[in-house]
Structure 1
């Protein structure tokens, strides 16, 4: 942990909460001098997690906000605060009309949601995308409440897809509470739409959110139950149906791999299920027509994406060498066919695999490749920041200089 940055974050949020050092100390059960030392970064070189959890509780912020390491993280936190606020608004929760204005027509909504998803997959303008989500959430919620008949069903589809995008952004920003909230509501909106493809898409995003929020067993069960329930309808819905069905198995595989890293009595059984789930996804990927849209419903689903998930599950299981071997089977042309966000994700997972395999110089160079592909996927992601910190602790040999420069661009102390 970067104790200096954490100290600055605590001081910043204490000031925003209009607490003096004496008041904050009293709420923490400590003295003013203790707070002064904490905010100066001299209380402990590595603050105990219990201290940080108590500070987050007193300051009424998620722990992830105190751990944020760069100015971009603060911007992300502000965007997530704005999204959290709109998700908690009465009109958004209930669908009650806040103003007497007419709802936006469903075709305009569809185009707006489609454009937002395209921005997400291009890894472009994440900051502006996060900033526009409160307004988009308001528009689609009011449309679902006010339209009737087929237009209302279309509005519920747009609402679910907007909530799914909110969940995906929240996971990248390290805000699992928002991801879980948005994911649950996306499933509800999808059920109201009556569209099995949207239902499957929402289910796979909720599985992602549950995994990120520390509930991988529940995530795997949810995704697998949804797949069983919807298979008959999805297999008749062309590429979109096959893609969302396949993604349910991929999300179940990631959830089971995450669960297998736990120390509970179900870990071994979870690990055994991962290969079968990946194989089921691969079978659906190979059922796609040759000329099918490889990004149906923004899934990027294909045999290549299944390979990407094989790599990711190996990383979750701390099988770095096996993950790196999978990555070598993906050709340059196959990688180029993926959306930019997926290409960067592949490279960052490969960097994790190289780190686990002890090939730390390769890990640094792979992170630099990912940065060239999509800078924000490296410079603005808590998960990648942690990998940079791990590499600095482990040592990167001849790549030390490149690693220090990357850490600086991430806003980490050098």
Structure 2
């Protein structure tokens, strides 16, 4: 059994650091971490947080996707092969339609079912790949139909379907490492949302866009996007319900944007002053598949502490979270992965393994397609004590980090 040919994040960091003629000490100083920490990342003994990757990317003048190696992964099969097919279909926009053969009610059931797969299936990548391409084409046909006088409501429903489909593709493409496709889907989602004349969907489209802007190291732009959308929602907040939930979801994005810009205190303030009161007001929900509620606020609070390097506080918050109350398996899987990262910060490899296996239980395919999760497994493989080694090797084999 040997490690796969996949290049690790640490190896990429070392390659670009040396290419920019920067020492580990210089990079560490600019990033605000120790030289030993950078050394451990480069040797595959530690996995950086997303926030730290953003810092390294800015210091070295490269995109985060370059350090993650996303373009290359599709070629060797680590990125889901359906990505290219989705890209092709998005570029074709679907054939022109006159609306006669478009079943809007049927499409609504299919789009909702596709979201159900994504949020609740342990095989969501495999099942989604079987459904998403054809559904995307059919939704795009519907969006180009119903242009005649008297078809305004049908046109708006087709736009709602397109908006919801692009929301789904944004998160799917991001999870399989195609941030370029994710950004395209988010942009299409914005355009479709405005055609619905629905302020809630428009806000949801900006929520989606802000997420992928953060992933592309554009935290400041993401913050501006989220804050602008929050302002646009203010006239509707007295109605409560979904309006408050969407505003709260946007505050979560704004908090992530803050911590990615190095301002953990602003992130904490946004969670405490805005997101948490909204969540307590509306309870657990899933408006436009944002999974907003008290559980998600706590998950973000834990993430903020992880990004800030406050592992003890992050673990204290984690003890308050019953992740099984979340309607999304993706959020549950993310919780376990972030717990693993918190324990890695504390050099507790037994806990890292435990939570990686929990993540595998709720999202086995996530570990195969999540670059940082794979790096966690790879680091554990290199550090594992003999008593843990068999379990670690078995996990590494299942997620494709090692080749038989």
TM class by smaller structure: 0.7 to 0.9
Matched, 1:366 2:355: yes
Shift of 1:371: 1.0
Q: Which residue does the alignment assign to 1:277?
A: 270
Moved more, 156-165 or 250-259: 250-259
Shift of 1:337: 4.3
Of structures 1 and 2, the one with the larger relative CO (CA 8 A, separation 6+) is 2
Trace 1:385-404 onto structure 2 (pairs within 5 A). 385-395=374-384, 398-404=387-393
Shift of 1:386: 1.5
Provide the secondary structure at the position in 2 that maps to 1:411: coil
User: Cα deviations across residues 271-317 of structure 1 (Å, max 9, x unaligned)?
Assistant: 332012212111111111x6xx6223222211111101111222222
- How far, CA to CA, are the matches of 2:238 and 2:206 in structure 1? 16
Shift of 1:211: 1.0
Provide the secondary structure at the position in 2 that maps to 1:257: helix
Q: Which residue does the alignment assign to 1:4?
A: 5
Provide the secondary structure at the position in 2 that maps to 1:126: helix
- How far, CA to CA, are the matches of 2:357 and 2:288 in structure 1? 30
Matched, 1:377 2:371: no
For structure 2, which runs of at least 5 residues remain unmatched after alignment? 9-42, 45-56
Provide the secondary structure at the position in 2 that maps to 1:343: helix
Q: 1:151 aligns with which of 151, 154, 167?
A: 154
Q: Which residue does the alignment assign to 1:104?
A: 102
Normalising by structure 1, report the TM-score. Answer: 0.75
For structure 1, which runs of at least 5 residues remain unmatched after alignment? 8-44, 261-269
Q: Which residue does the alignment assign to 1:305?
A: 296
1:109–1:68 CA distance, 2 compared to 1 (3 A): closer
Provide the secondary structure at the position in 1 that maps to 2:281: coil
Matched, 1:66 2:72: yes
Normalising by structure 2, report the TM-score. Answer: 0.77
- How far, CA to CA, are the matches of 2:75 and 2:85 in structure 1? 20
Number of equivalent positions? 342
Q: Which residue does the alignment assign to 1:213?
A: 216
Shift of 1:240: 2.3
Matched, 1:204 2:207: yes
- How far, CA to CA, are the matches of 1:141 and 1:192 in structure 2? 14
**Root-mean-square deviation (Å):** 2.8
Q: Which residue does the alignment assign to 1:257?
A: 259
Q: 2:306 aligns with which of 311, 315, 320?
A: 315
Q: Which residue does the alignment assign to 1:139?
A: 138
1:135–1:368 CA distance, 2 compared to 1 (3 A): same
Shift of 1:187: 1.1
- How far, CA to CA, are the matches of 2:341 and 2:384 in structure 1? 14
- How far, CA to CA, are the matches of 1:221 and 1:113 in structure 2? 30
Provide the secondary structure at the position in 1 that maps to 2:347: coil
Q: Which residue does the alignment assign to 1:36?
A: none
Q: Which residue does the alignment assign to 1:32?
A: none
